[in-house]
Chain A
Amino acid sequence: MSQAGQSWGRYPDAKQSIIAISDRHHGLPATAETILPYGNGRSYGDSCLNDGGVLLHTSHLDRFIRLDVATGVLDCEAGALFSEILDLIVPQGWFLPVTPGTKFVSVGGAIANDVHGKNHHRAGTFGRHVLELELLRSDGSRRVCSATQYPEWFAATIGGLGLTGLITRASIQLRRIASPWMSTEVHRFDDLAGFFQLSESSDRDYEYTVAWIDCAAKGRALGRGLFTRADHAPACPDRRPSAPARHLRVPFVPPISLINPFTLRAFNALYYHRQRQPIVRATTHYEPQFYPLDGIRDWNRIYGPRGFMQYQCVVPPTAAEDCIVRLARIIGSAGGGSFLAVLKQFGALPSPGMLSFPRAGATLALDFPNNGNRTLRLLNELDDVVAASGGAVYPAKDARMSGHRFRQYFPAWESFSQFIDPRFSSSFWRRVME
């Protein structure tokens, strides 16, 4: 039965049938339409949608298979969520090697987008910590892939956008921690040059770094923001891990977007001025540090019925500062601005996937209420800058880049194509192959 489905950006709309997978030993279901694995729908655009086809839901495929508490190797089914994994491993002194800004992603989704976190400069992408994975194809074949076994399938599946087959299980190398606490420092900076200086000095000494920038500010304040750097804290016996606070929820979709130029400017200014001192140090639980947005369930509803678009790009290190200034100017002059603008420098560790997005340079993530053609035009303008610099745009957050741009950003697409399962497809892939 066909059901309306949406990704996290609530744009675009797609209709597809849903088939739940709950047994990793079974083959793939026979269907007339094309199929696409679906993790937890935390991609923003259409890479987790398959309009007119079938989605293989993996939420019941979420069992732990093995946890070696001595070596920190976790083997689990692909639908297991990072949130569940954290609940299991943190009390045993382990942490995820890499995590995105929400813990509600599945292992399969994290591999298929080769996700990155605030420690990219140290740890690279999630795919680098995948020891092996099992790939199930529609011809019934199963391959246990790793850097040494079927390495070409491994490279195609990491960052493979769910197109190479169903990942049934994966084995991940976790990272040791001494406590669930984080030592954090938040620095205020006045402009983009300030960001790059802080980033330069912090990336050497801190495991996690990221900045928020005020994208509504203009003129001299352009690019002002707050830079956070953090490390896992040593054990502190006097502090007991507290149960996370009760969650808030956006209970319904408001008739219009609550994010508009006025609320946006106000929010950004308030957020920037929230911190009066140039530096604030704290010890916090890892949850608010890594997953500030997870505290408000269904926050994506605030953009109203038309949804919103994320835009995340990376620009090469040499052109970084100049490019980010130009992007910020374009956004500023479009008047819309972005509610959340996140800026970080990726390190030089290579990503293992053929289509992995992360590469050395500065990455900027923005979100925009969907104002139809106005938004599309703005994002195309941003693409011009990114493409000219030799950068790329993140498919996990994209609902609109042109096929031309995609192929420019990901020149490996052609060699990747031969690994696509003939019965697999996605709205995203059809769009960028047009």
Chain B
Amino acid sequence: MLRVLIIGATSAIAEATARCYAARGARIFLVARDTTRLIDIAEDLRIRGATNVDHAMLDVNNQPAHAGVLEQAWQKLGGIDVALIAHGTLPDQSACESSVETALAEFATNGTSTIALLTALAPGMEAQGRGVLAIISSVAGDRGRQSNYLYGAAKAAVSTFASGLRQRLAKAGVSVVTIKPGFVDTPMTRNFRKGALWAKPDAVARGIVRAADRGSSVVYLPWFWLPIMLVIKHIPEFIFKRIKL
């Protein structure tokens, strides 16, 4: 039976992913900071077929609490087949430009906390000699753009960290999957005008589950972001400087 840990479990993408695992009868451990919603989600997942659902409260920026929560997850699940790290915020870029404090706090939520969690999870996975660490990064981490480079920089840190971790853990038989969604219609992006490039959380969730099943390395979701980002990454700086993105 699949044992799944989800951090940032109240995220729309994470919840949709959890439903896919619940339908397979997985045992699930949910971590997020809003307990009321965790309880609702846990009940929903049980009804959808999860064999067992436990949860714990964690603000990911409270690093000293990480170890305790992860310990609880290892115990309850008795091993981890898939760990998904999904929490995140979409910072107000202009606020990050006018306040160092805001910039660093947002970097902590989207970058540092994830690096801390991965660092804490890695030894257990390594010792177990199997399993998947799936991390939701973003296409925004592929190149810094003026409209949200604080977020982009944090996601770039996560992607780069994951790439190194992947090399390290490959030897132990553990897959590190970097997930790079494009635009997804979730509460995070509630203030955006939605167009043709937008995906639904459940479509992205199916992609995440597929990537985790295969132990893929880096996946763009939906796939068409791969060619788009290929182009964006290769625009020379002297042109990139002049365009608005």
Q: Answer yes or no: A380 CB below 8 A from chain B CBs.
A: no
A103 within 8 A of B: no
- The size bracket of the interface on B is 10 to 19
B43–A1 CB distance below 8 A? no
Question: What's the Cα separation between A25 and B39 when bound, in Å?
Answer: 12
Known contacts A22-B12, A23-B37, A88-B48; is A64 also within 8 Å of B43 by CB? yes
Q: Complex Cα distance A24/B39, Å?
A: 12
Q: Identify which of B169-177, B188-196, B237-245 touches chain A.
A: B188-196
Q: Are B190 and A65 in contact (CB under 8 A)?
A: no
Query: Is B235 close to A, CB under 8 A?
Result: no
Asked whether any CB of chain A lies closer than 8 Å to the CB of B64, the reply is: no
Chain B residues with Cβ below 8 Å from A63 are 40-41, 43-44
Q: Name the interface residues of B181-227: CB closer than 8 Å to any CB of A.
A: 186-187, 190-194
A contact residues, range: 10 to 19
Docked CA distance A18–B193 (Å): 9
Is the Cβ of A66 less than 8 Å from the Cβ of B191? no
**Are B36 and A66 interface neighbours, CB within 8 A?**
no
Residues of B within 8 A of A19 (CB): 190
A20–B37 alpha-carbon span in the complex (Å): 15
- Whether A66 pairs with B12 at a CB distance below 8 angstroms is no
Contact of A22 with B187 in the complex, beta carbons under 8 Å: yes
Among candidates B41, B47, B193, residue contacting A66 with C-beta atoms closer than 8 Å: B47
Give A324 to B191 CA distance when docked, in angstroms: 48
Q: Are A3 and B47 in contact (CB under 8 A)?
A: no
Query: Using Cβ atoms and an 8 Å threshold, which residues of chain A touch B187?
Result: 20, 22, 60
1/0 per residue, CB under 8 A from B, across A172-184: the answer is 0000000000000
* Extra 15 A-B pairs, beta carbons < 8 Å, given A60-B12, A63-B43, A67-B47: A1-B191, A1-B192, A3-B193, A3-B194, A20-B187, A23-B34, A23-B37, A25-B37, A64-B43, A64-B44, A64-B47, A65-B40, A65-B44, A65-B47, A88-B48
Closest 6 CB pairs of A and B: A63-B44, A64-B47, A64-B44, A67-B47, A20-B190, A63-B40
Interface residues of A (CB under 8 A from B): 1, 3, 18-20, 22-25, 60, 63-67, 88
What are 5 A-B pairs at a CB distance below 8 A?
A22-B12, A24-B40, A63-B41, A66-B47, A88-B47
